[in-house]
Amino acid sequence: MRYSSRLTVAAHILMCIGYFQGKEKLTSDFLAGSVNVNPVVVRNTLGKLKKAGIVRVEAGIGGASLARDPSDITLLDIFSAVETDTDLFHFHENPNPQCPVGRSVHPVLGEQLASVQSAMESHLASISLNDLLRGIGK
């Protein structure tokens, strides 16, 4: 299995906000129309992004806006805000502790996979919302 589409949905939403900010009222309905998902999914996603300090949302009146400069919002920020389980790999639960291999898998393999994970994360951190906005309509 792989990561859910939460990262791409969240990135899409933020690209919309960055692109349309000032021109359109960015309600969850409007954003849902571009992403083509249910408005409630947009609201939940915005809720997580708000908690992470990435967007501001006006309750009641409606409308979302970026809380930081697009160059200061990275894919890692979005990823961490939005994915519940950020672990890339998933260990099988109960290797046999009686077996020398079963006893060692988790520490040995886990250490290696953690380095893969952090390589991925630093790569995500090197890409900003600004980089994405530059590509729109090009």
Partner DNA sequence: TTTGTTGTAACTTTTTAAATTACAACAGTA
Partner DNA sequence: TACTGTTGTAATTTAAAAAGTTACAACAAA
Q: Which residues neighbour 123 within 8 Å (Cβ) at sequence distance 6 or greater?
A: none
Segment interacting with DNA (CB under 7 A) among 41-49, 99-107, 113-121, 129-137: 41-49
Shortest reach from residue 128's CB to a second copy, in Å: 10
The Cα–Cα gap between 27 and 64 comes to: 7
The Cα–Cα gap between 20 and 14 comes to: 10
Name the DSSP class of 67.
S
| SS3 letters across 84-102 | CCCCCCCCCCCCCCCCHHH
Shortest reach from residue 85's CB to DNA, in Å: 6
Query: Which residues of the shown chain bind DNA in the complex (CB under 7 A)?
Result: 1, 4-6, 9, 25-29, 37-41, 43-44, 46-47, 50, 57-64, 84-85, 90, 92
Query: Which residues of the shown chain bind a second copy in the complex (CB under 8 A)?
Result: 1-5, 7-9, 11-12, 15-16, 19-20, 33-37, 75, 85, 87-96, 99-105, 107-109, 111-113, 115-116, 119-120, 123-124, 127, 131-132, 135-138
